[in-house]
Chain A
Amino acid sequence: MIRTVAASLLLVAGACLAHTQQSSVEAHFGRGTQLMQDHLYEAAANEFEEALALDPAEPRARFQYAVCLITLGRNDDARSQFEQVRKQTGDSRYVTYYLGRLDLLASDFPSAIKKLASLAQDPPFPDTPFYLGVAYISAGDLRAGTKWLERAARLTPRDYRVHYRLARAYSSAGREQDADREYALYSQFQNEHKNTEDAARACTEALRTQPQSAAREVCYRMFDPNDPEKLTLLGQLLGDGGAYTLALDPLQRAVGLDPNSFAAWHDLGLTYFRLQRYADARAPLEKAVALRPAFYGSVVLLGGTLYMLGDDDAALPVLERALRLNPSDAETAAVVEKLRAAHAKK
């Protein structure tokens, strides 16, 4: 019973992060990461700033702070932060990627090309070739730009931006047939994107207003057995609407199609957890934590799962880590204290 209550508390804690201030670098970093996950970049930037005020030599916080600044359009500030990270840690593919993108935004195309091209063999993000292609085209090198956009289209074949840029490049080169093909792909994926937005809206509304069986029909209009992102979204919407059992199938399919999808693993683990199927929740959550070790929501859920499974030895270090990421989580703190006490008695 206690475990059940504790699990519920952990679940709540995992879903909504308390905002009580706690001053430790790890705490601010954890909160900032969570806020970034929720796309609350301004608040996230504040957390990273707090972390840096406590420890200016903390490169992870500075890096994430810089990423927030780019998202907020504060490009000059972001550049300065990335440069500091580089000074602290030496060259990093991730820093070079963002500096390249900043050069692109500043219309310094030669510098953008130099930086992004240096990442070509081992790109830190799948959209690196896209930005390199855009940089080449902006610099007037249509041929090189086209080559990199073609590579981007292979890496991210469902990204309509890539197909639009590629179509424009082919148009400029007078390759009308290739352009028409890319325009068609652009149109297809952009329509899919819009349709997905519409379908998601309809699904959420149906889950709110209709019985689950009827809502399932509405929601399954967005079911695409070959698209892991859509499957993940479907699972998330069903889960958010309380249809946990229904959410399992699309999420299982999603992790099968894209084993590196953090969102799919996290949501699958969360759904099993919500269904109190803790044994099933463990592996997906371990995978999610491996993919995003600093994401408090996954860490606390994994700790809670292990705890519910009775594997207290495994649960304790995970919950301690969750607590470091979010020291204001009183429920987790209570469980940790209890586990420590039990451990001490052994």
Chain B
Amino acid sequence: MSPPPNPPERSTRRDLERYAGLFSARTRVMTSSATRDLMAMSDRADVISFAGGLPDTSSFPPETFASMTARIADESCARALQYGPTEGLAETKHCIVDVMAAEQMTVDPDDVLVTTGGQQVLDLVTKTLIDPGDTIVAEGPSYPGALNAFQAYQANVVQIDMDSDGMRVDMLEETLDRLESEGRRPKFVYTVPSFQNPGGVTMSLPRRRRLVEVARERELLVLEDNPYGLLRYEGDPLPTLYSLDGGVYVMYLGTFSKIFSPGLRLGWVVAPPPVLARINLGKQQADLCTSTLSQILVHAYFEHHDWREYVSALTELYRARRDTMLDALAEHFPPQAEWTRPGGGLFIWATLPDFIDTSDLLAAALRDNVAFVPGEGAFLDGRGRSSMRLNFSGADQEQIREGIRRIGEVIKEQVALYGTLTGESAPAPPRHDAVADAAEHGEAEGARVVELPRRAERERRARRS
């Protein structure tokens, strides 16, 4: 072979360095990691994935979609293809008023800004309120997508423990006192009170009341993120923080993603007028306006179809899947594991003995073609390493049973190996038989307080001493 002709004219590495010098400091936190590469494996077709947060859009009737788009082409083609106002179209806001009314909230359309998905609300609120180094208080675990948005604006995030009644508001108050004594005043508290992502727990009414009081007493903003409130599978609805507060200190984040379609990228924020005006400015800079086509589509849907009926069909579907997953967990996970029992939403949070690192467990699970989200991404302080988030909306019941069985096998193997290594007695043999018995066990687990151990903290202390 002769040496290659046209010798390279440029160096890719030098290019990379040239660009690297231009990156902002805030992109420094946007690191890639081995775990993320591992997560990418869960997209493989042969993998049963509990890793996503995907609603089941396959249950939406295509003929409904066709009639909506035909109607738009007939009636509002030019408008649908045009820019719109930054705050959103009036008719879309009416749909939003409707959705919020379904959860007993009364809202003035003027207090609403339509956004490109709920994720944009997280970005805009953070952009509006946070300078580098400012503090945000969130739940632990928190939605990783929110943590990423907060980190991108270089916020300090303090995470408050949860139990089966949601955020420990007493600990929130202690933390606020401590922060105050350090001269730090958090800009806002971020919470998903109903069917929390990833925790799967719901904040109790007394805690909701107390949180709203705390916000008023301390003149602190709260961002209530409520994507799943209408996906309730049991029990009575609880008032939202927004309705308890009346919109003075509580900002409200809503979305059409889980009740209609995440593909439309349509969400909204409700905030006190002075805050909303600032958010509006940020929205103008970000993307001028939310997709007019999506907004008109939602309106066409709400106008001519019963959106509540679709939500109740989804609710039936997801309830059955949740029940299947809870039963499968009780049957296949070892007694050392515990998990939350969500009354709605899309996620179960399971916690394993602390000698199991769920990122490593994921590697073993992927060998058996099953995936989940390791818990570490839901914390910024090293906690969550023995926990996992399991989504039950995106897989059918048969896949759920099989997938949980496979994960259970891998966990049991690791528990047995640990027992062998430490000389501790091997765990009780798996109970494949008694399903009724297992269901009981699941309920007991659900009722128990879900303590989320501060393992990293403990290790750090131990090392110091």
A and B part of one assembly: no
Give the A-binding residues of B (Cβ under 8 A).
none
